Structure 1
Amino acid sequence: MTESIHVSNRAAKSRAETPAPRSRKRAGNGASRPDAGDLDIGLDALAGHAGYAVRRFQIWIFQDFIRTLAAVDIRPTQYSVMTVIGANPGLSQMAVAKRLGIERARLVHLLDSLEHRDLVSRVRSATDRRSHALHLTARGRTALAQFRRLAAEHERHVAEKIGKENREKLLQILSAFT
């Protein structure tokens, strides 16, 4: 397994978070982490907007996912693409892009990256020479199994944050959008 997935130096660090600095710091996705003084700033109507709450939760979710899977250097969208390809070998790039709501040009770049890491392969379609069928490589199948174990750890973090029953309710509510 040593050759199949390279562990970055970031993996050596524990999952424990360091205390937040007193000044505002970029969270890595365009959002700022609030410092203690920011909690005194009222949100007014934002506190009642579902979109605002969902976006803040999404930021937390992505940060935890990225931190939890840092050792294998996989991002949420890469994991989603590999999971869909693994469950549906032979799908076209267009089908994956549509199902996951990813812009085609962005998916091409993402697939280039996964192909460069020998996790995904594109095979010219036998029925449409303009299209490619997507498959996980042997290395990709092994890696996805490891990614899934780490993603399950991430889901445990979500359950710890909001409660197991609330996580289940949230998934049920959000299923209307998947």
Structure 2
Amino acid sequence: MIMVTPSRKPRVAADAKDGAETLDFGMLPGLVGYVLRRAQLRVFEDFIRSFEPLALRPAQFSALLLIEANPGRSQREIAAGLGIQRPNFVAMMDEFEARGLARRTRSEVDRRSHALMLTPAGTDLLVRAKAVVAEHEARATAGLSEPDRLRLLALLKAM
């Protein structure tokens, strides 16, 4: 149930015992964008909390996965695949290199671009991160049967 506290900020409350007034959300619960965004916020909150010990944000985890799956691909390709602007991805790669997780080398095919590779430390971190993401996914989809989880993925991909 969504409640409003005296500070007037909406929040999720377990019940109405705290005296907060119940909000009428009108048509919002019937709008795909609204419901999708609320679900995304809950999923990201759990992801961020789960990955805090690894010091990884969602975009960083995604980038490491793509670099692992596509060794030697360029920064431009990985950034485009994730929908990350090039300057932001360059900064992310700078951080990966500073942490010893990934490295850039001159591409053998196009000397103007960099080929990306995980380091052994990056591979080790990704092994741990995959275990964390499996637990996170289990929590995020706990209320769904496996056929429903697969249907949800298919529906979201269709959008």
- The TM-score, its normalising length taken from structure 1, stands at 0.76
The amino acid of 1:57's aligned partner reads A
Gaps of 5+ in 2: 14-19
Residue 144 of structure 2 is matched in structure 1 by 163
Runs of 4+ in 1 over 4 A off after TM superposition: none
Verify: 1:106 aligned to 2:88, yes or no: yes
1:146 aligned to which of 115, 124, 128: 128
Cα distance in 1 for residues equivalent to 2:156 and 2:50: 23
Gaps of 5+ in 1: 1-21, 25-31
Cα offsets for 1:112-169 (capped at 9, x unmatched): 1111111111111122222100100011011100000000010010122x32333222
Partner SS for 1:34: strand
Where 2:110 maps in the other structure, the secondary structure is coil
Aligned runs of 1:55-74 on 2, under 5 Å?
55-74=37-56
Query: 2:101 corresponds to which residue?
Result: 119
1:10-159 → structure 2 map (5 Å cutoff): 34=11, 36=13, 37=20, 40-159=22-141
Quote the Cα distance in structure 1 between the aligned partners of 2:144 and 2:65: 25
Give SS of 2:104's match.
Answer: strand
Number of residue pairs aligned between Structure 1 and Structure 2: 148
What percentage of aligned pairs have identical amino acids? 39
Please say if residues 93 and 107 of structure 1, whose CA atoms lie closer than 8 Å, have aligned partners that are also in contact: yes
Larger Rg: 2
The structure with higher relative contact order (CA 8 Å, sep 6+) is: 1
How far 1:172 moved relative to its partner? 1.6
